[in-house]
Structure 1
Amino acid sequence: MKKVFKGTSFFRALGFKKQILTFVIYFSVGLGLISITTAAPIRNQSPPTLKANAPNVYVVKKGDTLWAIAKKFLNNPLRWPEIWASNRYIKNPHWIFPGDRLLMCTYQGRPIIGKDEGDGCDGVIRRYSGNKSQVLYPQVRIESLNNAIPIIPLEDIKQWLDRSFILPPDSLNNTPYIVGMADERVIAGAGQNVYARGLGLVIGQRYGIYAEGQPYILLDEQGNKVNAGLELTQVASGIAIQSKQDITTLEITHSYHQEIRKGYRVLPEHEVLYPTMFYPVYAEDVSLEGKVIRIHDSIGAAAKRSIVSIDRGHLEGVKVGQVFTVNQRGQITTDPKTHKKIQLPTEVIGEIMIIQTFDHISYAYVLESQLPIRVNATLTPPIIQD
């Protein structure tokens, strides 16, 4: 339980719910460094190919996402980390904000894109390469962190990061649960009191109230069914205001489009980090082959901007931000000449990005979809060509 709930949400701590200003300070070498960020290793030796209509200058607008910006420049947006000219002398160099001017430059024969700090491509290259030949004077930039451009639309993934998560099935043993509502109601909502039974609830502390979803039943290596996790969805928040023996009264402060019912679990509110960069997964990084095992908020198929669950988690090497190719196995058909059964080729039908990982399961966001993505679609590392 501690592993799941310990820690503070990135956006909640740094301004997702509150307007907290951050100072992004650019230091010269002589003044000291906040942090040094090195470029990720490049597996593909050929430089990324730019779109024919890629802009030389792009001014970031409110509502942009990093994925959409990458698609403006590159034939394959997955290769954005290879061309992004990180400023080695600032913290969080991948953050960009509305109003930033992005310049397309050339460094050692390869295209790079970086922020214009008033000194053009010369400055972009100098900060990216770590050239110490010129003194850099400190600059102070004040930004609200919740204005930073997200990599994908936050409204598409917020519910699945803030309100849903997956726990091992035995981790819910002995956790508190709702046993009743004030005024003998059958269901309850914001502004009402509910009663939870169980030990460990602290007066004055905020808790989440969670509905249990369907378990994830997978097959192990021997073909036996195993419960890989239980999905919980937060339906409300409340504060513990009174306790007597093992019954605690909770005052409901927020409800999230669902009523509270008996049996729902009471747990510390789930908080996670939001993804801040995307990058392709490589074959040696994760145990493959994985597959899509659940489609969320859809009758039977996922499309662009949908959320899916896959049968690989952090114990198999999956990490937030990794991008997988989604494949559809070719159908089995009958050859009209030989009358024998044949299987048609597997087709690439989309790409997904991991947004949250659990032990053996992960949530993923559909970045691109050429055809509907269905349960049992297979996952492979993307082919990096362009």
Structure 2
Amino acid sequence: MIKKSIGLLAGMLVTFAVYAAGAQLRASHPDTYTVRRGDTLWDISAKFLSKPWLWPEIWQANPQVQNPHLIYPGDVLNLSFINGPTLKLVPGVHSSDDAVPAIPLSELGMFLKDMRVMKSEDVSSAPYVVGMEEARLRGTPGQNLYVRNLQAEPGQRWAIVRPTHVFRGFEQGDKNDAENEIVGHTLDADVSMVRSPWSEDFRNDGHYGRGDDLGVEVSVIGTAETLRTGDVSTLLLLDSTMEIRKGDRVMPVDDHPYDPYFYPHAPKSVSPHARVIAFADALDAAGKRQVVALSIGKQDGVENGQTYAVWQPGETIADDVAGNSWRRGTSPDVTLPEEFVGHVMVFRTFDRVSYGLIMDSLRPVHRGDTLRMPE
């Protein structure tokens, strides 16, 4: 419900220009929308704009707005057509801690806080779990862990991590060559924690040889606190998302790994080797609100909030109509058109790899799907 008070609202209206060439209005847009709890900027902008990632253009048209990312439940968006389409934001009464986020961070859960890409040697040389109390094979919260090579003080907290992927680069010449590729090799969970070089899954990556080592992905699976120090330190396992094993690594806790806000926006350009290379929480395919690893990073100009269109390459099949379907090998090959899959937004970047959240999808996202400008 819109509360009308001319005197109160006269100084509170903020007008946003919507540029037809950029942030195009949807044909089915509402004239008025009241922000609800649970909304996100992506969801709200999709109600008005055909390209939700262009939401920042609306804010940027109003440099006088101190905190353009902060809108709240109860705020009202009114669409008017005086000298062109404009959006008017009528602020409501709200507290400072219930602002609408750019993306639904709550739906990311553990995946926003548990992935790092590090140098292989740093992971290999990190302190490691050598055993559990009472000679247990697995450690669970409330139990003691025994860790070697740890320099710590009593009471200090640590992250327990497990190597999950090795990223490798295969360059053909020019670093911008479309034939260049970065792939993510899944690590064998039965042996990767105990020894390195890691046991990698090379199946179906389309390459022979190991390629350039671009880093190891580790997943934070628990936190622990130092009880006693020594050649073998004793740590109390405080929490975990899975059972702790021998060989799991121990690393400093990262209290602020992510930006407090994410603003969806189109990149200035897209690297020709930009692809989906791994999944954070899936085996063969991923869908909406799942996390994927991308073959581009800070060195490619990637930053948090950049949004890409995901396209699935067309399959190459035999044209049995043009050939002789009864004789093997006589039908010519034909490549089918590529298909649009959905959109992915980057939320964390490293030098050569980044992580993105699938914002929407028409079909499953697979490894090898390519990234393009979100047009």
Common topology (TM > 0.5) = yes
Counterpart in the other structure of 2:299: 315
Distance 2:263 2:153 in 1: 37
- Match of residue 177, structure 1, among 106, 128, 151: 128
1:234 alignment counterpart? 220
Alignment partner for residue 250 of structure 2, among 251, 266, 277?
266
Q: Which runs of 4+ in 1 moved over 6 A?
A: none
Alignment-derived partner of residue 236 in structure 2: 251
**CA displacement at 1:91 relative to structure 2:** 4.1
Amino acid in structure 2 at the alignment position of 1:116: V
Per-residue CA deviations over 1:13-38 (Å, capped at 9, x if unaligned) read xxxxxxxxxxxxxxx9xxxxxxxxxx
RMSD (Å) for aligned C-alpha atoms: 2.7
Q: Which amino acid aligns with 1:357?
A: T
Q: Secondary structure at the match of 2:67?
A: coil
Cα pair 2:119 2:214 within 8 Å, conserved = yes
Q: Distance in 1 between matches of 2:64 and 2:356?
A: 32
Aligned residue in 2 for 1:73: 48
Number of the residue aligned with 1:329: 313
TM-score for the superposition, normalised by structure 1:
0.74
Deviation at 1:142, TM superposition (A): 6.6
Distance 1:217 1:252, change over 3 A: same
Percent identity (aligned): 33
Partner of 2:266: 280
1-structure distance, mates of 2:82, 2:229 = 65
1:330-377 Cα offsets, whole Å, 9 max, x none, are 222344236532322222221111111112111111112122221111
SS state of the match for residue 346, structure 2? strand
Tell me if structure 1 keeps the 8 A contact 2:74–2:91. no
How far is 1:72 from its partner? 0.8
What SS class does the counterpart of residue 159 from structure 1 fall into?
helix
Partner of 1:219: 170
**Residue 138 (structure 2) aligns with:** 187
Q: 1:374 is matched with which residue?
A: 366
Query: Structure 1 residues 100 and 117 mapped into 2: Cα distance closer, same or farther (>3 Å)?
Result: closer
Q: Which has the higher helix share?
A: 1
Measure, in 2, the Cα distance between the counterparts of 1:112 and 1:273. Answer: 33
Q: Which residue of 1 aligns with 2:70?
A: 95
> Distance in 2 between the 1:93 and 1:332 partners?
47
Gaps of 5+ in 1: 1-27, 29-38, 119-140
1:152 to partner: Cα distance: 2.2
Asked if the contact 1:84/1:113 (under 8 Å) is kept, the reply is no
1:292 aligns with 2:267: no
Higher alpha-carbon deviation: 224-233 or 320-329: 224-233
Q: Note if contact 1:86-1:114 (Cα within 8 Å) is conserved in structure 2.
A: no
Q: Is the 8 A contact 1:313 1:361 kept in 2?
A: yes
Structure 1 residues 296 and 239: alpha-carbon distance in aligned structure 2, compared to 1, 3 A threshold = closer
Contact 1:287 1:317 in 2 (8 A): no
Is residue 2:23 matched to residue 1:48?
A: yes
What displacement does 1:209 show?
A: 0.7
Aligned length: 316
Aligned to 2:289: 305
Q: TM-score, normalised by structure 2?
A: 0.76
Deviation of 1:318 after TM superposition, in Å, equals 1.0
SS of the residue 2:72 aligns to: coil
Change (3 A) 1:107 1:167: farther
How far did residue 173 of structure 1 move?
4.2
In structure 2, how many angstroms separate the alpha carbons of the residues matched to 1:309 and 1:321? Answer: 15
C-alpha deviation, 1:105, in angstroms: 4.4
Q: Tell whether 2:72 aligns with 1:115.
A: no
Aligned to 1:125: none
1:47: how far off?
A: 4.5
Of the candidates 25, 32, 35, which is equivalent to residue 57 of structure 1?
A: 32
Question: Partner letter of residue 87 of structure 2?
Answer: I
Distance 2:49 2:75 in 1: 19
What CA distance in whole angstroms lies between the structure 2 residues aligned with 1:65 and 1:117? 16
Question: Structure 1 residue 48: deviation in Å?
Answer: 2.8
Question: Could you tell me how far 1:183 is from its partner in structure 2?
Answer: 2.1
Tell me the distance in 1 between the aligned counterparts of 2:65 and 2:131.
Answer: 53
- 1:36 paired residue number: none
> Would you say the 8 A contact 2:34–2:73 is kept in 1?
yes
Match of residue 333, structure 2, among 341, 365, 383: 341
* Cα pair distance change 1:340/1:173, threshold 3 Å: closer
Change (3 A) 1:114 1:337: same
Displacement of 1:304 after TM fit? 1.8
**Residues 45 and 105 of structure 1: CA distance in aligned 2, closer, same or farther (over 3 Å):** closer
Q: Quick check: 1:149 aligned with 2:133?
A: no
Cα distance per residue 1:251-276 (max 9 Å; x no partner): 222222x1111111111113312442
